[in-house]
């Protein structure tokens, strides 16, 4: 049974939003990272709107150009403006970079004092994004940008979970230290008042992000449970997270990768050889992305 705290679902969601707000994740100003992400991820946003938004955020603007010119994208010519970045990288590529910058700033500035190594959590998220994007480009190219962004965001709920239920998170950490290798959701059901997937889904709904992203993060540990239209995206995030953990991008709540899901692999129509190819390239790609996003 789920850990009983006497919190009914509606109150639980309100508490998640309250904690997320206290961490700055729900700051409503037009210049806030979450608000910028919501606009960037809107299906109908135009290149002109994206360029205008990013120009108003000097830090994000600089990081977009740094990533665009980094080995991560392998460009052979210098990209010196957002207007030049858009034709080269495409709208999806630019907003993915901007989302990564927003996430990096949000986690680094608002989760101090956590019992978890938030740097390790962020590196896991960056590697998951890189892996999910690479996986999508094999069979599901149209989902590459969404896979990157969903991979970035899939574990942001952990930051809220720690603040909402510190004893539960500490209980999971103790279980891991005692070599409990059960899947994270099983430990959450036993130890915690709320799961990290639920936390991030509530946050993304508050940000008014597209349903596809909300569904992918809500079900990244069980893609088959996602709505039919979003099973593939959830599967890409699931497999991206597995490859991230298998490549050593672990953290206290998920210190090992567990088993690769044959069901997810089949659903994505990917072969073991293709997965291994992504795994081989992932450390270098994740390092390139991390380096490009690092503060100057």
Residues 6+ apart with CB under 8 A from 198: 12, 16, 157, 218
Can you tell me the distance from the alpha carbon of 51 to that of 83, in angstroms, rounded to the nearest whole number? 7
Judged by average pLDDT, the poorest of 20-24, 233-237, 263-267 is 20-24
Say what the pLDDT of residue 108 is: 58
Domain membership of residue 229 as a residue range = 9-293
Beta bridge partners of 254: 251
Beta bridge partners of 251: 254
What is the arithmetic mean of pLDDT over 176-204? 93
Residue 277 domain-assigned (yes or no): yes
51 pLDDT tier (thresholds 50, 70, 90):
confident
Can you tell me the distance from the alpha carbon of 213 to that of 198, in angstroms, rounded to the nearest whole number? 13
Residue 2 domain-assigned (yes or no): no
Instruction: Pick the more confident residue, 291 or 278.
Output: 278
Residue 251 domain-assigned (yes or no): yes
Is a pLDDT exceeding 90 seen at residue 110? Answer: no
| Of 124, 52, 133, 123, the residue nearest 92 (C-alpha) | 133
Query: Can you give the pTM of this predicted structure?
Result: 0.85
- In the chain, the number of structural domains is 1
Residue 212 domain-assigned (yes or no): yes
Residue 266 domain-assigned (yes or no): yes
Can you tell me the distance from the alpha carbon of 61 to that of 66, in angstroms, rounded to the nearest whole number? 9
Is a pLDDT exceeding 50 seen at residue 4? Answer: no
Can you tell me the distance from the alpha carbon of 121 to that of 130, in angstroms, rounded to the nearest whole number? 14
Residue 1 domain-assigned (yes or no): no
Can you tell me the distance from the alpha carbon of 201 to that of 223, in angstroms, rounded to the nearest whole number? 14
Rg (CA), the chain: 18
Here the CATH number for the domain that contains residue 192 is 1.10.3210.10
Residue 4 domain-assigned (yes or no): no
Do residues 38 and 209 touch, judged by C-beta distance below 8 A?
yes
Residue 3 domain-assigned (yes or no): no
Can you tell me the distance from the alpha carbon of 98 to that of 72, in angstroms, rounded to the nearest whole number? 14
For the record, the structure tokens of 271 come out as 């072969």
Report the SS3 class of residue 271: coil
């Amino acid at each position: 049974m789920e850990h009983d705290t006497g919190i009914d679902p509606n109150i639980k969601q309100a508490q998640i939003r309250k904690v997320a707000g206290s961490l700055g994740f729900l700051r409503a100003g037009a210049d806030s990272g979450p608000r910028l992400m919501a606009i960037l991820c809107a299906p109908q946003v135009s290149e002109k709107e994206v360029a205008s938004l990013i120009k108003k955020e000097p830090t994000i603007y600089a990081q977009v150009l740094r990533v665009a010119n980094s080995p991560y994208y392998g460009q052979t010519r210098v990209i010196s403006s957002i207007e030049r970045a858009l034709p080269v990288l495409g709208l999806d590529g630019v907003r993915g970079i901007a989302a990564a910058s927003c996430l990096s700033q949000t986690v680094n500035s608002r989760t101090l004092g956590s019992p978890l190594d938030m740097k390790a959590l962020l590196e896991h998220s960056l590697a998951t994004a890189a892996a999910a994007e690479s996986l999508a480009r094999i069979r599901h190219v149209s989902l590459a940008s969404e896979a990157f962004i969903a991979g970035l965001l899939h574990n942001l709920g952990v930051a809220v979970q720690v603040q909402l239920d510190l004893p539960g998170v500490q209980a999971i950490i103790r279980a891991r230290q005692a070599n409990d290798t059960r899947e994270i959701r099983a430990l959450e059901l036993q130890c915690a008042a709320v799961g990290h997937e639920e936390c991030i889904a509530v946050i993304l709904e508050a940000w008014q992000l597209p349903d596809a992203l909300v569904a992918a993060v809500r079900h990244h540990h069980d893609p088959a449970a996602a709505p039919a239209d979003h099973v593939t995206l959830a599967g890409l995030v699931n497999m991206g997270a597995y490859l991230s953990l298998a490549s050593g991008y672990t953290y206290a709540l998920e210190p090992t990768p567990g088993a690769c899901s044959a069901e997810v692999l089949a659903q994505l129509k990917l072969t073991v050889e293709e997965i291994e190819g992504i795994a081989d390239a992932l450390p270098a790609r994740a390092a390139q992305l991390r380096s490009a996003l690092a503060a100057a």
